[in-house]
Amino acid sequence: MTDTFSLYDLRVTVVEIRGRSVCGMKIGDSFELRNSSQLALPDSQHFCIYALAAVLPLLAAKQRELSDNDWLASDNLVVCPDPDEGLVMKIERLEKVELSKSDLT
* Residue spans per domain, the chain: 4-100
Q: How far apart are the first and last CA of the chain?
A: 17
Q: Is 30 helix (H, G, I), strand (E, B) or coil?
A: strand
pLDDT digits (tens, 9 = 90+) for 6-57: 999 999 999 999 999 888 999 999 999 999 999 999 998 999 999 999 999 9
Percentage of residues in the chain with pLDDT exceeding 90?
66
* 33 DSSP β-pair partners: 10, 39
- Higher pLDDT among residues 79 and 103, named by residue: 79
Residue 105 confidence class, pLDDT cut points 50, 70, 90: low
In the chain, DSSP finds a helix count (H) and a strand count (E) of 3, 5
Residue 72 confidence class, pLDDT cut points 50, 70, 90: confident
Model pTM?
0.91
